Structure 1
């Protein structure tokens, strides 16, 4: 966990993430329909991969927004602060795999 104070996402970022989540929600509904209809396993796997990619992309964008916010906070540490933020970002994204 980070030692930085909690921050809220800017409205534009939040709207982008909500849009991506709604698209992923539609993909999940599509998966359910394919399963209900008894679709070919390869087709289901392809749709599942697309859904996973959509969620992974959303997760990455959220973490980039957090890093961006952290870097915009006033700091006198300069390069050390950037290194710490990037290390936390890499750690979070590494756990996503």
Structure 2
């Protein structure tokens, strides 16, 4: 498994654990501000993970010698569309 894939999977597992913790906080009826703080942390973590995935797409498009210029442009446009959607 390459480093980037492992890093992304680790980030997602960490976010999954945070979400389980938030569910427990809700079950335990903890303060709203604490729950929202944790939700914000998860959102930030997911946003950073999305950035990594998109940057990998861009890097692959630029480094793939088998893609012609039109294919590279299409791949880059797909990555840019993902950023704009975000």
Q: What's the TM-score, normalizing by structure 1?
A: 0.74
Name stretches of at least 5 consecutive residues in structure 2 with no aligned partner: none
SS across alignment from 1:74: coil
Shift of 1:88: 3.3
Q: What's the TM-score, normalizing by structure 2?
A: 0.83
Please tell me whether the aligned partners of residues 57 and 75 of structure 2 are also in contact (alpha carbons under 8 angstroms).
no
Picking from 50, 54, 58, the partner of 2:49 is 58
The structure in which a higher percent of residues are helix is 2
Counting matched residue pairs gives 86
Q: Quote the Cα distance in structure 2 between the aligned partners of 1:38 and 1:20.
A: 27
For the pair 1:48 / 2:39, whether they are aligned, the reply is yes
CA-atom RMSD in angstroms: 2.2
Structure-1 residue corresponding to 2:80: 90
User: Taking CA–CA contacts closer than 8 Å with sequence separation of 6 or more, which of the two structures ends up with the larger relative contact order?
Assistant: 1
